[in-house]
Amino acid sequence: PKIIFMEPDGSRRDLEVPVGTSLMQAAVQNGVEGIVGECGGSCMCATCHVLVDEAGLARLPPKSDSEDEMLEFSVGERHPGSRLGCQITVTAELDGLTVRVPG
């Protein structure tokens, strides 16, 4: 499936991401600006903060409590569409999802 990352400077990155990969892993492997993934995906660092619009959110599973708590410490301001990239696993259904990396 294709996932579109909007980098903080406005550049658009279209990535072909294998099913089962997290958004954080995909971003780190492809050098997407602004996604660090410091804790390696354990929901402990919030350096994988992404913003998802309403339509996108409706396609994602709801946040877990730990994701919700960690978002309080995220890099950049928290928004209603804030999610942790490491907690979102790419599935075929997410094809075409667009996420924005906060600047």
Q: Is 95 in the site for ligand FES (CB under 6 A)?
A: no
Query: Restricting to residues 39-78, which ones interact with ligand FES according to CB under 6 A?
Result: 39, 41, 43-48, 70
Query: What is the DSSP annotation of 14-51?
Result: EEE--TT-BHHHHHHHTT-TT---TTSSSSSS-TTEEE
**Site for ligand FES (CB under 6 A): which residue of 6, 17, 23, 24?**
24
For 37-57, give one letter per residue: b (16+ CB within 10 A) or e: bebebebebbbbbbbbeeebe
Could you say whether residue 84 binds ligand FES (CB under 6 A)?
yes
Identity of the residue, 6 or 45, whose beta carbon is nearer to ligand FES in the bound complex: 45
Is 37 a binder of ligand FES (CB under 6 A)? yes
Q: What is the Cα–Cα distance from 16 to 42, expressed in whole angstroms?
A: 23
Minimal distance, residue 42 CB to ligand FES, in Å: 6
38 binds ligand FES (CB under 6 A): yes
User: Which residue ranges make up the site for ligand FES (CB under 6 A)?
Assistant: 24, 37-39, 41, 43-48, 70, 84, 86
